Structure 1
Amino acid sequence: MTIPDYQTLMLPVLKAASGGDTRVPDVADRLADDLSLSETERDELLPSGRQRVLHNRIHWAKFYMTKAGLIDSPSRGRFRASDAGTALLATLPATIDVDTLKTYPAFLEWYEKPASTTGAAKAPVVRAAAVAEATPEEQIDSAHAIIHSALKADLLQRVLAQNPTFFEGVIVDLLVSMGYGGTHERAALRLGKSGDGGIDGVIDEDRLGLDRIYVQAKRYSAHVGVGRPEVQAFVGSLVGLGATKGVFVTTSTFSVPAVQFVEHLPQRVILIDGDRLAELMVEHDVGVRTSRTIKIKRLDEDFFADE
């Protein structure tokens, strides 16, 4: 038989994940046996030649169900059915697809929101029923937006799986890639070495060191937000040091009171939450690399224009 699409694979993947921690390769082997796939089908690669089709579709089935809260990722590369996923399986569903996932508020919020919160617009996600009406370019834009969102989620998960020293290194790499701190070596010496209460590090704003930016970094899980008291303590440290610029970075989120608190301060304090951190990492190629580049060419109307 042919390899099922990722929506058809959602139910089998969730069932496979209900037995405890597992990995995509393990699930792929199990499903390939259950589906009686041939060796050729098991080894079939994407057009890019970089990944097996079956593995890719299992990954997307897992990612979508993770967004609905049906799957947890307890450690690097491993996943399992969550309490919500187990509860869904107990209802003996015939299938699980995107429409099923849309009944979960967390998934619907992600599915409907723009791919970026930095002000850049995106094409809306092309729904399965609307593919026929969408132009090929609209389908490409929508697919790119979903891949981009998945990459950001994977980035944060991998950062959270590392130790605090690694997280400091991520911040160094990002700030240097953005043009701060001069050389990587100089930035690394300054960041994470301060030890001043409420301050994790200081980095030069420019190569000459004419001004400095003080940094606070909190590697929190998504459900542990940063509130106003922590931000207020950071600002208090800035005041004590006579500093005017600070960056507070977290892998989670900031509460509304925390965001409102920094809006009218005499100090310039930038809050970078997990979503924006991942966005900046992708933009500045920190922890990511280009997998493939697709060129879309158009007719050169000037070439065919009459003299």
Structure 2
Amino acid sequence: MSKSRSKKIAEKTIFATFKILKENGGEMRGKDVVDRIRETTSFDDYEKHRFEKTGYIRWESILHFYTIDCMKAGYLRKQKGIWYLTEEGEKAIDLGAEKLLNSATKLYREWNTKRKAEDGIKTDLGDFTEEEAAQVQKSLINQYEEDAYNGIRNYIISKNPYEFQDLVGQLLTAMGYYISDIAQRGADGGIDLVAYTDPLGTKHPRIIVQVKHRPNDSVSSDEIQKLGGTLKRNSDVGIFVTSGTFSKPAKKEARESREHIELIDFERFVSLWQEYYTKMTDEQKSFLPLHPIYFLGE
């Protein structure tokens, strides 16, 4: 039996995804993976066709559709817009494009058969089979979620360092902290915000906050050490907030530091903003406005 065009597209895009992730240490933003595939892979007009209803490109939709197979097979993980290649996924690259996809699809079908047997799930979406319908829904939701997350990320990236510092201050206020000092332009001595748990700052701890707006960089261990050096009182707590990430040595430094240093990277910052969004005033929400949409879950 001849192979469908969709299957051929899936084979080359999934295989390209795995190789790109491996070349980049096993993790990348999903959007960056798709962009890299677009730059390095040739597509014909059929593959580049844009669907009128969703606005998505055919090859991108097929890629997202088959990443569900790879996730259920244990080859791939997704979280907050980041795609992670697992150890099993890295080994699967040796199978080649065709066998890799076949093995992922086989493992997905085994999982789905077991799930339906346990849950008694029924699905009816027109021309799709029951199995395909659930997978189409999941892949579309994944695309919507990633688009939404990338929209938030691009919005934050567009801010200057002082605007990002203001975002951090608004979040801490919504969380119930009281900001007593905000660094102005110029050298800040490693302190951007000072916060307390009460309005007058008479209760412990004093919270020293360092903010770095570097979306594409990782914070180093040296920078964590410098924050630790600003914690002069025994009860001081440090919080390091970045719009990027923390290096592994930086995380280790924070864990092993004598002082309590809390790390908030971009992913955690967005999660906290979402968590406390309903507690914010309209003015606070305007700094990073969100609109929640709910989909039917599995």
Give the TM-score band, short-chain normalised: 0.5 to 0.7
Letter in 1 for 2:220: G
Q: How does 1:170-181 map to 2 (within 5 A)?
A: 170-181=167-178
| Equivalent in 40, 53, 60 of residue 97 of structure 1 | 60
Q: CA deviation at 1:113?
A: 2.5
| Equivalent in 237, 253, 266 of residue 261 of structure 1 | 253
Match of 1:236 in 2: 229
Q: CA deviation at 1:289?
A: 3.1
Match of 1:113 in 2: 78
Q: Which moved more, 1:132-141 or 1:172-181?
A: 132-141
**Residue 257 of structure 1: SS of its match in structure 2?**
helix
Q: CA deviation at 1:191?
A: 2.7
Contact 2:169 2:193 in 1 (8 A): no
How many residue pairs get matched? 203
Over the matched positions of the two proteins, sequence identity in percent amounts to 22
**Residue 214 of structure 1: SS of its match in structure 2?**
strand
| Equivalent in 141, 148, 151 of residue 148 of structure 2 | 151
Q: CA deviation at 1:293?
A: 5.7
Q: CA deviation at 1:154?
A: 2.0
Q: How does 1:219-298 map to 2 (within 5 A)?
A: 219-222=213-216, 224-238=217-231, 240=232, 244-285=236-277, 286=285, 287-292=288-293
Q: CA deviation at 1:256?
A: 0.9
1:161 aligns with 2:158: yes
Contact 2:80 2:146 in 1 (8 A): yes
Q: CA deviation at 1:88?
A: 2.0
**Residue 261 of structure 2: SS of its match in structure 1?**
strand
The separation in 2 between residues aligned to 1:272 and 1:99, in whole angstroms, is: 34
Give the unaligned 5+ runs of structure 2: 1-5, 10-28, 48-58, 83-104, 113-127, 278-284
Give the unaligned 5+ runs of structure 1: 1-6, 11-63, 71-81, 118-126, 182-186, 297-307
What is the RMSD computed on CA atoms of the aligned residues? Answer: 4.4
| Equivalent in 174, 191, 197 of residue 205 of structure 1 | 197
| Equivalent in 179, 182, 191 of residue 191 of structure 1 | 182
| Equivalent in 206, 213, 216 of residue 210 of structure 2 | 216
**Residue 270 of structure 2: SS of its match in structure 1?**
helix
**Residue 218 of structure 2: SS of its match in structure 1?**
coil
Contact 1:250 1:272 in 2 (8 A): yes
The separation in 1 between residues aligned to 2:38 and 2:295, in whole angstroms, is: 36
Q: 1:225 to 1:102 in 2, by over 3 A?
A: farther
Match of 1:4 in 2: none
The separation in 2 between residues aligned to 1:86 and 1:133, in whole angstroms, is: 35
Q: 1:168 to 1:110 in 2, by over 3 A?
A: farther
Over residues 218-248 of structure 1, what are the superposed CA-to-partner deviations in whole Å (9 max), with x where a residue is unaligned?
A: 11123x111111111111122x465520110
TM-score, structure 1 normalization:
0.52
